Amino acid sequence: MEVPVMAEINDVESGGQGLTVGPTYRRNGAAVDRWELARALSAVARGLQAEPDVQATVLRIVHAAVEAVAGADHAGITLMRGGVATSPAVTDGVVTRIDELQYELRQGPCLQAIREQAIIDSADLAGDDRWAGFGLRAAALGVASMLAVPLSVPGRELGAVNLYARRAGAFDEDDKQIAVLVASHAAIALQARQQQQDLRTAMDTRNLIGQAQGILMERGKITAEQAFTELARLSQTLNVKVRDIAWALATTGGPPDPVDHRSHPPGPSRPMVAPRRPAEELPVRRV
């Protein structure tokens, strides 16, 4: 006799190595078919792969996280580049304020999740003594509990997906497992979009420098090598990146002002060094 698939997976557990597989999970107190969850997460994965750039990808990530994780009221994403933490996408303004507070104090669930490459769960921020300076101030903004899941791929730590709830103890084990699945899909899609963006930026920079070299070659009747040497000299003299020198020459015909940094507009970021710590699994830390 053929055994239905749902009967095969009923009451099978992972022994702590992954998701608990059963016919249902709980969402806001109601039983939900796990196949419905699987289909929803598959749709999230396909949607993330379809996004055209980094900004569209991170926006989809935060909205998918709120939709998938029952306990979450808000979500945000922290990205790390060059030791600097930024919050490029949030679902609510309170997330921006809380993230800025974490970056200012250099403490909180998000930063700890990135440093330790672990799932960090705070069921009661106001009473959590791990981040005494942060917890009370976050609670005063209306967030009682928080869940942070690192975004990483082999050899690279990208940041974290952060979930916020107005009530204490909002995130149960199902929420944590689903958040890990969302973050896993998100990390793969995000790395692909970042690699594409970096490649486009490199190609744009190469084209700009080529245009600037051509301008200098025509004006000074010099070789390409001499033109690049002149770009490098201007970069050192003005303390401006070669790309910015090239951009100015190609668009205005002259070098930029020494304080002009058009290619690096200011953003909501704070310096934060995240030491690398390889980890095969993501332990759950809870209060």
> Same domain for 132 and 217?
no
DSSP of 36-86, one letter per residue? Answer: HHHHHHHHHHHHHHH--SHHHHHHHHHHHHHHH-TT-SEEEEEEEETTEEE
The model's pLDDT over 199-216, given as tens digits with 9 standing for 90+, comes to 777 787 888 888 888 888
Please indicate, yes or no, if residue 17 is contained in any of the structural domains. no
- Pairing mode of beta strands 145-153, 284-285: unpaired
Structural domain containing residue 212: 197-264
Residues 168 and 133 in one domain: yes
Please state at what angle helix 173-220 crosses helix 242-252, rounded to 10 degrees: 60
| Cβ contact 249:210 at 8 Å | no
Regarding whether 174 and 237 lie in a shared domain, the answer is no
Mean pLDDT of 96-109: 94
Q: Which residues on neighbouring strands pair with residue 12, listed in sequence order?
A: 21
For residue 224, give the amino acid letter.
Answer: A
5, part of any domain: no
Task: Scan for tokens 């306990």, then name that residue.
Answer: 71
| pLDDT tens column, 132-148 | 889 999 999 999 999 99
Phi, psi of 33 (to 5 degrees): -60, 130
pLDDT (tens digit per residue) in 158-188: 899 999 999 999 999 989 988 998 888 788 8
Per-residue pLDDT band for 238 (boundaries 50, 70, 90) equals confident
137 in a structural domain:
yes
In a domain? residue 176 = yes
How would DSSP label each residue in 136-198? HHHHHTT--EEEEEEEEETTEEEEEEEEEESSTT---HHHHHHHHHHHHHHHHHHHHHHHHHH
CATH number of 67's domain: 3.30.450.40
104 inside domain: yes
- Based on the domain organization, do 64 and 201 belong to the same domain? no
How far is the C-alpha of 21 from the C-alpha of 250, rounded, in Å? 59
